[in-house]
Amino acid sequence: MNTFPISPLFIPANKLEWIAKTFEKGTDSIILDLEDSVPDNEKAQARQDLFLHLKENSFPGSLIIRVNPITDQTGQEDIKTLTQSKLPISAFMLPKIEESSSIATLPDINIIALLETPMSIKNISDIASEKKVKGLALGGADLSASLGSTMDWDSLLFARSKIVLEAAINNIFSIDSPFMSIEDLDALQKESQKAKALGFNGKAAIHPSQLELIKNSFLPSEEEISEAKQIINAFNQSSSAVIAFKGRMIDQPIILSMEKRLRLVGIDPKNID
């Protein structure tokens, strides 16, 4: 994937008319869900309809397909059908993935591992190191149900920290779990800010009303963009490995952080004013 999703929005894969409308609402990516959102007796038809729709259309953002668990025949059929010809799919999201060995047998596709069981958290290092895996996502609802915990931030902090750590080690992106209370935007903002502070690259959404708030929480402000440019320019103009900038010590790790900040908004840090 060329860019990582900041506010991917889940929509049912059998609601194909929603795709274009959802991009119009400002999402950068859509997760088309063939798993929980589609009844068992409709999965085969939804898969075929999705294949035909993607074959005939293009879209302005990234499309991620959440398939059924690949340990089941339905999930295997999802992968087989949707990889048999070139389709505008950025990545496949694999639910309840627990072992890296199951990924190794798949075609050469981009994978987002959806970590939502205790075993997936236990085996996260092996899963994250698979070359096909481009991102890690937290499935908070299923994980909390398995643990017998709540979905509160503190209850799943260990899992969140492991995901961020392994994503950084393997240079892949991380997506925080959706916030399930659609109307409580204040709480969503607080959780989004915590997710960004911890190191997540984005947070999944379940309703268009959440999109703007999530993007604003993860994307840098104009002031932060300006600061990053000033710091990078000052560092580049110096021959020292460490400089002082407005009372702050600036070294290479800070520069890498500032460069990442600019890339989030599409600015090449090697070519700034």
Give 146-164 pLDDT, tens digit per residue. Answer: 999 999 999 999 999 999 9
Domain hosting residue 237, numbered range = 222-263
**Which candidate, 231, 223, 221, places its Cα nearest to that of 257?**
231
Spatial contact of 180 and 141, defined as CB atoms under 8 Å apart: yes
Instruction: Summarize the confidence of residues 112-125 as an average pLDDT.
Output: 97
Question: Is 80 exceeded by the pLDDT of residue 144?
Answer: yes
Domain count, the chain: 2
**What is the tens place of the pLDDT at every residue in 51-105?**
999 999 988 889 999 999 999 999 999 999 999 889 999 999 999 999 999 998 8
C-alpha to C-alpha distance for 29 and 31, rounded to whole angstroms: 7
Q: Is residue 3 part of a domain?
A: no
Mean pLDDT, to the nearest integer, of 112-139? 97
Residue 184: count of CB within 10 angstroms of its CB: 12
31 plus 109 within the same structural domain? yes
Q: Which residues contact 210 (CB under 8 A, 6 or more apart)?
A: 7, 9, 179, 182, 185, 188
For residue 57, give the DSSP letter.
Answer: -
- pTM for this entry: 0.88
Residue 190's pLDDT band (boundaries 50, 70, 90)?
A: very high
In terms of domains, do 45 and 128 share one? yes
Residue 2 has pLDDT above 60, yes or no: no
Residue 216 structure tokens: 């604003």
